[in-house]
Structure 1
Amino acid sequence: MPQPRPYKVALNGYGRIGRCVLRALFERGAAAGFEIVAINDLADMASVEYLTRFDSTHGRFPGEVKVDGDCLHINGNCVKVLRSATPEGIDWASLGVDLVLECSGAYHTREDGQRFLDAGAPRVLFSQPMASEADVDATIVYGVNQDCLSGDERLVSNASCTTNCGVPLLRLLDQAIGLEYVSITTIHSAMNDQPVIDAYHHEDLRRTRSAFQSVIPVSTGLARGIERLLPELAGRIQAKAVRVPTVNVSCLDITMQTVSDTDAPEVNRILREAATSGPLKGLLAYTELPHASCDFNHDPHSAIVDASQTRVSGPRLVNILAWFDNEWGFANRMLDVAGHYLHTAAPRTDTQLSVSEEQ
């Protein structure tokens, strides 16, 4: 049977998120509905190939990767590797891309996004929150508000991994039992803005300290990011973050003062039912087993509720804990949002034969 032509996408930035997005795309296979045509990163080709094949966190790439000139062949697919320091250094239109996945984390304003559009990109999906609501046409958390996309947007943000974990949970519980106030602590694995041994940092003295010797409080924009998506909680939510000496997988410790009286069994029932049916199925998971963080490495869910950690003090002070793979879960949401975005903006009617039919 003829199959719809896959959407053509390019990656700008090939660090942790960029490589996870590419790997998730190939692990999904044809069902992903994408063809990756280019990667832009300043790394040399040997490093691009090596870091695609071998990953200390997610293991070896489950396929064939080799280099031929400026092309990275992945399972027989040629992905052109570019090395431009700026968006305008690439003629995105000549690549025929439907979407640029901006995974460098270096661009945060509408002016930054416009540089991609001026260079021929038809639309851009950012892997980071933008500086303000005015800097993007939409910020999307898949499972919550992807249906607000009209197809006219050209600059869209995929929010952050912590926002993708927290927003579905808060929205769900606010609708079920009502939330008056919320306090969140992000317990986050070390990131690439932290040194392995003590070293200078351009803005944060705490981040001069070794990532693997301390638990380190850091600043976070999580509360403001949640308020953008759940304005009904504006002024009633606060957040803080600590980095811990692990390589991957993080969690949110969420404390809520509720409108209605409740207890731990009711809270867990709400979360369990949402994980098994409805719009959050496949995005939210639920467990009662005695897990540790490493159990959720390479887990594609946005949030995994640890029911063993649910606590209720009095009738209205609720505390829950939710795990998330801050790399792999987020990379999968990038693909989910990209697919919905492109289906809305540029639905395909042209087809191509599948590989089996061509043979």
Structure 2
Amino acid sequence: MTVNEDSFTDWNNREEIAESMIPMIGKLHRERDVTVLLHSRSLVNKSVVSILKTHRFARQIAGEELSVTETLPFLRALTTLDLGPSQIDIGMLAATYKTDDRGLSVEEFTAEAVAGATGADKIERREPRDVVLYGFGRIGRLLARLLIEKAGSGNGLRLRAIVVRKGGGQDIVKRASLLRRDSIHGQFQGTITVDETSDKIIANGNEIKVIYSDDPTSVDYTAYGIKDAILIDNTGKWRDREGLSKHLRPGIEKVVLTAPGKGDVPNIVHGVNHDTIKPDEQILSCASCTTNAIVPPLKAMADEYGVQRGHVETIHSFTNDQNLLDNYHSSDRRGRSAPLNMVITETGAASAVAKALPDLKARITGSSIRVPAPNVSIAILNLQLESETTREEVLDHLRNVSLTSPLKRQIDFISAPDAVSSDFIGSRHASIVDAGATKVEGDNAILYLWYDNEFGYSCQVIRVVQHVSGVEYPTYPAPAD
């Protein structure tokens, strides 16, 4: 047999193993509300090739490829346990098992590692929490995709309604079409139909009512059977407590803003300060996409080395508030053609750091340049540290943070030397550390942080919503502090 045939046989064997994993992953998700992860990446509803690629990607962060032959025994062990709602990382199970010298079997080790999700300690499945989207633009439609995706188990969050202003003819048909096909993020994974007579979009079996309204104070959500819902305002029209309070109507319990909040509205970056949300807080903000990109790695660096001061320069994709061609705009430079120019503009991300990291005394400044790319941005974080270090130490630290720390869902790590912006479309992390671009000299560190400013940010919003709704399930093995 030739080398080529050996490689092809190995590929076929791994395909067969990945195929056998799919029904186990699906059954755990549907019947027990268990999300199977691989180094923080969900394997639910993934194809054979996607599962294999996710395993292969492990070499970017862990240093070596992870094989499905290594993770399959742990997945099988999970199917034998009486699990409650949880997220279980079989990549971390496989990695920690390698370093365990007690001679336990895979089954014994797995049962011990996920003990908090079994028996008397397990969380009981909860009734789904109603969610309403106020607005249905770029972020709104991605939030809808994520909410529909996460409704697969029948629990967790349930998208009940979308509130928009009435457009022209075939309004609901056109909105459904924008949900179905996206020029950047591709096709919707599933089926979408429209019931024009009842103003409903049915996506993967989820009936979503389209409510037409120009004024949030005019809507009674209980009339649509909605109760105790979390409303996500993705219009950005109101950013202070007074304006956002307009949404607190019958049927709505909490309001989450997908833009930086003003005044005393808490700005929340999941993974960093979401545990500071007071149970009775009704209004909160998820800050901006850039704030979510820089705050987690900034915290990781401050915790390890201390930070005296810093500056963030954001090279940001153009957004819908800019003009396609030169035209009047309330902001001087944003009136110039977005697809034809680099446009210097302001960013509030640096000042928002203080809200998310109040204990960080370092002064952080920031500026931004909008560039002719439709999605994915990069933040260049230039830090003066309190202690000297080396490039190797910083990269090892950030790699470990991305693998095992409580920030592993926020921070990703890539060492590919040819990575470019389009490679990060669809990333679910708040930011991705580019190892090859990182520069460290003494007490100065410069981090290059990629982020999908649409989808990655939307994932952060959903994490906040899950937290305040009480359906943010624990992850096993538990991340290191």
The residue type paired with residue 8 of structure 1 is: D
Counterpart mapping for 1:233-312 below 5 A: 233-234=360-361, 236-290=363-417, 291-312=419-440
Quote the Cα distance in structure 2 between the aligned partners of 1:192 and 1:234.
Answer: 34
Q: Does 1:158 align with 2:280?
A: no
Q: 2:160: which partner in 1?
A: 37
Quote the Cα distance in structure 1 between the aligned partners of 2:205 and 2:148.
Answer: 11
| Contact preservation (8 Å) 2:376, 2:453 | yes
Quote the Cα distance in structure 1 between the aligned partners of 2:329 and 2:228.
Answer: 36
Quote the Cα distance in structure 2 between the aligned partners of 1:330 and 1:295.
Answer: 16
Q: 2:444: which partner in 1?
A: 317
1:41/1:18 CA distance change after superposition, 3 Å: same
Q: Which of 346, 352, 355 is equivalent to 1:225?
A: 352
Counterpart mapping for 1:9-158 below 5 A: 9-30=131-152, 33-42=156-165, 43=167, 44-68=171-195, 69=197, 70-94=199-223, 95-118=226-249, 120-132=251-263, 134=264, 136=265, 138-158=266-286
Quote the Cα distance in structure 1 between the aligned partners of 2:194 and 2:364.
Answer: 49
Higher helix share: 2
Quote the Cα distance in structure 1 between the aligned partners of 2:228 and 2:374.
Answer: 33
| Contact preservation (8 Å) 1:143, 1:168 | yes
The residue type paired with residue 194 of structure 2 is: V
What is the Cα deviation at residue 97 of structure 1? 4.4
Deviations along 1:224-244, one digit per CA (max 9) or x if unpaired, are: 111111223456110000101
| Contact preservation (8 Å) 1:272, 1:286 | yes
What is the Cα deviation at residue 30 of structure 1? 2.8
The residue type paired with residue 318 of structure 2 is: A
What is the Cα deviation at residue 92 of structure 1? 2.6
| Contact preservation (8 Å) 2:307, 2:362 | no
Q: 1:169: which partner in 2?
A: 297
| Contact preservation (8 Å) 1:10, 1:97 | no
What is the Cα deviation at residue 334 of structure 1? 1.1
Q: Which of 320, 332, 347 is equivalent to 2:459?
A: 332
What is the Cα deviation at residue 285 of structure 1? 0.7
Deviations along 1:261-303, one digit per CA (max 9) or x if unpaired, are: 1111111111101000010122211011020000000111111
Quote the Cα distance in structure 1 between the aligned partners of 2:181 and 2:208.
Answer: 18
Bigger relative CO (Cα 8 Å, ≥ 6 apart): 1
Match of 2:470, SS? helix
| Contact preservation (8 Å) 2:261, 2:284 | no
TM-score by length of 1: 0.91
| Contact preservation (8 Å) 1:195, 1:210 | yes
| Contact preservation (8 Å) 1:151, 1:344 | no
| Contact preservation (8 Å) 1:150, 1:344 | no
| Contact preservation (8 Å) 2:267, 2:286 | yes
The residue type paired with residue 221 of structure 2 is: W
The residue type paired with residue 299 of structure 1 is: S
The residue type paired with residue 321 of structure 1 is: Y
1:29/1:122 CA distance change after superposition, 3 Å: closer
Larger radius of gyration: 2
Q: Which of 303, 314, 323 is equivalent to 1:186?
A: 314
The residue type paired with residue 374 of structure 2 is: V
| Contact preservation (8 Å) 1:88, 1:119 | no
Quote the Cα distance in structure 1 between the aligned partners of 2:275 and 2:134.
Answer: 26
Match of 1:194, SS? coil
Quote the Cα distance in structure 2 between the aligned partners of 1:337 and 1:316.
Answer: 34
Quote the Cα distance in structure 1 between the aligned partners of 2:343 and 2:462.
Answer: 31
Q: Which of 200, 203, 217 is equivalent to 2:328?
A: 200
Quote the Cα distance in structure 2 between the aligned partners of 1:86 and 1:182.
Answer: 42
Deviations along 1:24-57, one digit per CA (max 9) or x if unpaired, are: 1223343571111100112421221110111111
Match of 2:333, SS? helix
| Contact preservation (8 Å) 1:188, 1:242 | yes
Greater CA deviation, 97-106 or 15-24? Answer: 97-106
Matched positions, count: 341
Quote the Cα distance in structure 2 between the aligned partners of 1:170 and 1:112.
Answer: 31
| Contact preservation (8 Å) 1:123, 1:154 | yes
The residue type paired with residue 255 of structure 2 is: V
Q: 2:86: which partner in 1?
A: none
Match of 2:462, SS? helix
Quote the Cα distance in structure 1 between the aligned partners of 2:319 and 2:293.
Answer: 18
TM-score by length of 2: 0.68
The residue type paired with residue 34 of structure 1 is: L
Gaps spanning 5+ residues in structure 1: where? 348-359
